[in-house]
Amino acid sequence: MLEPTKKPLTDRMVIQGPSDRRGQVEKALRRLGFSIVAQNDDEPSIPWRDALNIHPDGEPGVCLRGARTREGLTQAELSRLAAIPQRHISEMENNKRPIGKETAKRLAGVLHVDYRVLL
């Protein structure tokens, strides 16, 4: 059987959070098939946004494009269903236009996501 030719963006991650919940997080990750490895401080690590080349201001556009793609919709189809001009959707996905609360609610209804994901 051939091996996949594309390498994953990363095969390791560091999760930071409250130390009293570490056991719960590790247990949940193991149930999902992850393995827990002690972090080597000599090994450089980068934030996940940097690994995926996502600027914090770019997250709403990435979420919008991802939700649209997951639903199998084109920008034109989403435009028609949400009654939003197609060029506005393109501008929102490319972070050239902010996504307002009312617009996010309209898009979220069509895309079956919580509107706060798009803000």
Can you give the pLDDT at residue 17? 78
pTM greater than 0.75: no
Q: What is the pLDDT of residues 8-60, one digit of tens each?
A: 555 666 777 788 888 888 888 888 877 777 666 666 666 666 666 666 666 88
Taking 70 as the threshold, does the pLDDT of residue 97 lie above it?
Answer: yes
Residue carrying the six token digits 């236009």: 97
Query: Regarding predicted confidence, which is higher, 119 or 9?
Result: 119
* 68 band by pLDDT with thresholds 50, 70 and 90: very high
Whole-angstrom Cα distance, residue 82 to residue 6?
35
Q: Measured on CA atoms in the order 112, 113, 115, 119, is the torsion positive or negative?
A: negative
Question: What is the model's pLDDT at position 69?
Answer: 92
Q: What is the pLDDT of residue 23?
A: 84
pLDDT of 37 reads 72
Phi, psi of 87 (to 5 degrees): -65, -30
Q: What is the pLDDT of residue 33?
A: 79
